[in-house]
Amino acid sequence: MREYKCWNKRCAHGGKVTDNIAVKVGSKRYHKDCKMDIDNLKKVRELYIEFVDPAVVHMQLNKVINTLIEDKKVDSEFLLFVIEFIIEKDIEVNVPFSLYYKVTDYKIKKAYKDKFSNLCNNNLTIHS
Ligand SMILES: [Zn+2]
């Protein structure tokens, strides 16, 4: 089986993906969940810039997102939910650093949990 580099720099599978399971985008290959993470984080950035704060310093936003994902081990799917929640409920976020608190917000975590238990009745562990 041919092995390729997984282009997600945070690849959780050792950075190599075999042909049979790879998702191909252009000439780049990814694990399915690696590609999903990249897409989620791209969306988080876009939504934040479009709806939360168009004047945000991009470097600052990127740094916060990286810290959340890499150091605080926040799931990209959950982070996307947090941003959507903030926008939907019109919650004020003045600086990207506020996201550190939002991801631990009980109300948001509960809403996320409820969303999934309503969808599939699964128990879900949420990183805190
Ligand atoms: Zn990967």
**Can you give the pLDDT at residue 116?**
82
Using the mean position of ligand 1's atoms as its centre, give its distance from the Cα of residue 53 in Å: 31
- Stretch 2-11: mean pLDDT, rounded? 95
Using the mean position of ligand 1's atoms as its centre, give its distance from the Cα of residue 60 in Å: 26
Using the mean position of ligand 1's atoms as its centre, give its distance from the Cα of residue 37 in Å: 10
**Can you give the pLDDT at residue 80?**
98
- Stretch 6-16: mean pLDDT, rounded? 95
pLDDT of 124 above 80: no
Least confident among 4-8, 109-113, 124-128:
124-128
The amino acid sitting at 21 is I
The per-residue DSSP string of 73-103 comes to ---HHHHHHHHHHHHHTT----STTHHHHHT
Ion ligand 1 neighbours (CB, 5 A) are 6, 8, 11, 13, 31, 34
Using the mean position of ligand 1's atoms as its centre, give its distance from the Cα of residue 93 in Å: 32
Residues in the chain, overall count: 128
Selection from 127, 120, 123 nearest residue 81 by Cα: 127
